[in-house]
Amino acid sequence: MKRLVLLAALLGWSLWAGAAERVLEFHSDVEIHVDGSLTVRERIKVQAEGRVIKRGIFRDFPTDYRDRTGALVRVPFEVIEVTRDGRPEPYVTLQQNNGVRVRIGSANVFLQRGVYSYEIAYRTGRQLGFFGDHDELYWNVNGNGWVFPMDRVSAEVRLPRAVPAGELKVEAYTGRQGARGRDFGAEAFDGGARFETRRVLGRHEGLTIVVEFPKGIVHEPTWRERARWWLADNRGAAVGFGGFLLLLAFLYWRWTLVGRDPRAGPRFPRYEPPPGLGPAGVRYVDRMGADDRAFAAALLGLAQRGVLHIHHHDRSDSYEIERRSQETDGLPGEAVLVQRLLGASDSIAIGAKHNPTVQAARDALNDALKGSFGGRYFSRNSGSLSLGILLGIGTFVAMIVLDAPVLFIAAVGVSMAASLVLFSRWLPAYSVQGRKIQDGIDGLRQYLSVAEADDLRRMKAPPQTAEEFARLLPYALALEVEKTWADRFTRTLGAAAVAAAVSSYYDGDLFGAGGFSASRLSSSLGDLGSTISSASTPPGSSSGGGGGGGGGGGSSGGGGGGGGGGGW
């Protein structure tokens, strides 16, 4: 009795196993046309038991690939017909992440248990490889994505004309993705080749074939055709490249239109600053904008003329600004600076901590300088640069939305950023009047930065007196040559005379172990700009961190075709 029960159980298990859902046969006929396109007819015979295969099967076909550069390659795919057991069968095509799913069957029609033979015919293209000495089809016959085992997989490839079998080379691979199994048989015949597996393929195993044939059998795409395909496949990259070229063209056009400076005048030393500017104005025109050094130069200029007195507390690294006179000589921005900085008081201390009064005084000076010189002497052409930035941002976003390759997005993004930075320096331009003023500033800088006595004699410079040093020290600070200016007068007049000239309006710890030090003076004046920057910058408006935010290498699953399938 026990033997009968065991025998019945074994018989039942064998019947269940034999009836398990699987692909009994997968055969593919691949016809290569002269234009390089393929017509493929797949015959898929399945055992359906109503577990996974309920209404029919589906076949996934990949259409989107990435080449070695990361560019998208999108091959065409068109279904010709679908049949079941020789009769037309309903189907729908569904877009997948990287291809198309052909779902066969009706949602309201369930299959009886049994064997069904499906046939799918479709056209595709751009599946051939073109090499120096041969062309080839590298084709994944059934795809490695099937969830069913396959008893037998076979394929037959036909060329457009009867090429002798001896001129063909065939190869194949079996197994899972990337495997190089040899469980196949293959033969070439005149005009084509046949392949078949020699073992059952498990789930996610496939057959990939290679057929090499002489050049000239099919049309090889021209570079124009390849370029057209690339543009069609890589709209994001095309938009990125086009946007970058458009940005360059726009920036160059704006530069030629508004960014070219008038021709500079002859260069020679100037011993007087341009009239009506003052130290802050000289800095503003030279830099085409205001900064904290312009503020410091304005304070030093007011001190040199007796309006203010500046005392540097070296230990606390702070400055005390004291009023000495009510007259400011009417230079642009100076009156409003003194009014906003001191108001009704006679002095103010400026340290490293934020001081709203200092910020208000700096902003008032900047506004006054912009109103006096900004539109008259130069234009930064910020509107042109802003439009360029918007164009760059739009191009960058479009590349992301249109799925351009990451490396391409990075390369174009860096190139656009570099172009914008470059043109941000080229677009600002002086007016004709501003160019003349800048010529005077350049000549003054040339005089202030001369270090050698012989050079001074050759240029017939005025006498190098303590008064000359004190008079032009604020301009040397504005043009960032204060150390050279102080060193020159220290060698010419001696430290004591220079110290006396400075201490009448600016005092601090300017004496080292060897007496007065021009380096200490330069450092003290430079620190004045840094302290103003700290005092006029609101908390939280700057970061305290350090950063910002083919042939010879085939395997199963490679080549064109492939995909997978299952039941539904």
Exposure string of 482-498, with b = 16+ CB inside 10 Å and e = fewer, is bbebbbbbbebbebebb
Backbone angles phi, psi at 96, to 5 degrees: -105, 180
The CATH code of the domain at 20-221 is 2.60.40.1730
Q: Rounded to an integer, what distance in angstroms lies between the CA atom of residue 280 and that of residue 301?
A: 8
Intervals of CATH 2.60.40.1730 along the chain:
20-221
Q: Which two tokens stand for residue 494?
A: 């001696």
- Are the beta carbons of 555 and 208 closer than 8 angstroms? yes
Residue among 209, 156, 141 at smallest CA distance from 562: 141
What's CA 332's distance to the chain center, in Å? Answer: 43
Strand partners, 29: 41, 156
Which amino acid type is present at position 112? Q
Helices 482-493 and 495-503 meet at what angle, rounded to 10?
Answer: 130
In sequence order, what are the residues at sequence separation of 6 or more whose Cβ sits closer than 8 angstroms to the Cβ of residue 127? Answer: 36, 38, 75, 137, 139, 559, 560, 561
| pLDDT tens-digit profile, the chain (568 residues) | 455 444 444 444 344 444 589 999 999 999 999 999 999 999 999 999 999 999 999 999 999 888 877 778 889 999 999 999 999 999 999 998 889 999 999 989 999 999 999 999 999 999 999 999 999 999 999 989 899 999 999 999 999 998 999 999 999 999 998 888 999 999 999 999 999 999 999 999 999 999 999 999 999 999 999 989 988 888 888 899 999 999 999 999 999 998 888 888 888 899 999 999 999 999 999 999 988 899 989 998 998 988 998 888 877 678 888 888 877 667 888 888 888 988 878 888 888 787 888 889 889 999 999 988 888 899 888 899 999 999 999 999 999 998 888 888 999 999 999 999 999 999 999 999 999 999 999 999 999 988 777 777 787 888 888 899 889 999 999 999 988 888 888 888 888 888 888 888 887 655 444 445 556 666 666 666 677 667 766 665 544 444 333 444 667 666 677 777 788 8
Residues 143 and 60: their CA atoms lie apart, in Å, by 8
SS3 565: strand
Check if the beta carbon of residue 140 is closer than 8 Å to that of residue 99.
no
pLDDT of amino acid 543: 44
116 class by beta-carbon count within 10 Å (0-12 exposed, 13-18 middle, 19+ buried): buried
Give the tokens for residue 176: 């899972």
- Residue 77 has a CB neighbour count (10 Å cut-off) of 17
C-alpha to C-alpha distance for 474 and 482, rounded to whole angstroms: 8
Q: Tell me, what's the pLDDT at 491?
A: 86
Q: Are 432 and 262 in contact (CB under 8 A)?
A: yes
Is the CA virtual torsion 495, 497, 500, 502 positive or negative?
A: negative
Structural contact between residues 138 and 557, judged by C-beta atoms closer than 8 angstroms: no
Closest among 410, 418, 411 to 388, alpha carbons compared? 418
Q: How far is CA 529 from CA 134, 526, 537, in A?
A: 72, 5, 12
How far apart CA 432 and CA 262 sit, in angstroms, is 6
d(CA 454, CA 469): 18
Which pLDDT score is estimated for 563? 75
